[in-house]
Amino acid sequence: MRLFFAFDLPSNQAHRLAELTLPPSASVRPVAAERMHVTLRFVGDVTPERLDRLVDGLGRVARLAAAEDRRVRIDGVGVFPGLRRARVLWAGLRIREGLVALQGAIESACVASGLPADGPEWHPHVTLARFSGAPPPELGAWLDRYADLEMEPFEIDRVTLYDSVTSTAGPSYRPVASANV
């Protein structure tokens, strides 16, 4: 299993992101609207007992998150790890303290289940495309063009623990557990 906690985008926003014209390149691999999401915490493979504890933790986090401000909005674009060696093209998220608290609570639930602590920095983003080879020379101009990308705010209403299943057709994401927040 390749587990991760995430929330989905409103379908209309995911479709609008999927319709952005990507920088032209033979190596660009777009993400379909149906698979766009924001990872809150990558988990990876776990034992069945740890999975049970993570699912319990998700329920506790959801109850706690009900009191938080969970509004977010798509804001800007960028690349990981950097322009010259770009592997991932993403849309950023403007977030409020409430989401930082929600992500922190998920991190705490992961550590309580026995997982090692994640790195200190969380970069909320929606992966729009991946580059399987050298990034296109037009990438810098593309980033400038969409620097002011902004969508209407929305409220996260559900957090899901997904299993990423890889096949020759690419990854697909199977919900293992989810909770309304």
- Site string (96-125) toward ligand 2AM, x via CB under 6 A: ------------------------------
The residue nearest ligand 2AM at its CB is 42
3-class DSSP string for the chain: CCEEEEEECCHHHHHHHHCCCCCCCCCEEECCHHHCEEEEEEEECCCHHHHHHHHHHHHHHHHHHCCCCCEEEEEEEEEECCCCCCCEEEEEEEECHHHHHHHHHHHHHHHHCCCCCCCCCCCCEEEEEEECCCCCCCHHHHHHHCCCCECCCEECCEEEEEEEEEECCEEEEEEEEEEEC
Task: Characterize the bridge pairing of strands 37-44 and 3-8.
Answer: antiparallel
Q: Examine residue 39 and tell whether it contacts ligand 2AM (CB under 6 A).
A: yes
List residues bridging with 175 in a β-sheet: 162
Q: Examine residue 164 and tell whether it contacts ligand 2AM (CB under 6 A).
A: yes
What whole-number distance in Å separates Cα of residue 92 and Cα of residue 106? 20
Q: Examine residue 7 and tell whether it contacts ligand 2AM (CB under 6 A).
A: no
Site for ligand 2AM in 74-93 (CB under 6 A): 88
Min CB(17)–ligand 2AM separation in Å: 13
Q: Examine residue 127 and tell whether it contacts ligand 2AM (CB under 6 A).
A: yes
Min CB(67)–ligand 2AM separation in Å: 27
List residues bridging with 74 in a β-sheet: 93
Min CB(116)–ligand 2AM separation in Å: 12
| Cβ proximity to ligand 2AM, 40 vs 105, nearer residue | 40
Min CB(170)–ligand 2AM separation in Å: 11
Among 11, 12, 29, 42, which residue interacts with ligand 2AM (rule: CB under 6 A)?
Answer: 42
Q: Examine residue 4 and tell whether it contacts ligand 2AM (CB under 6 A).
A: yes
Instruction: State the residues that interact with ligand 2AM by CB under 6 A.
Output: 4, 39, 42, 88, 127, 164
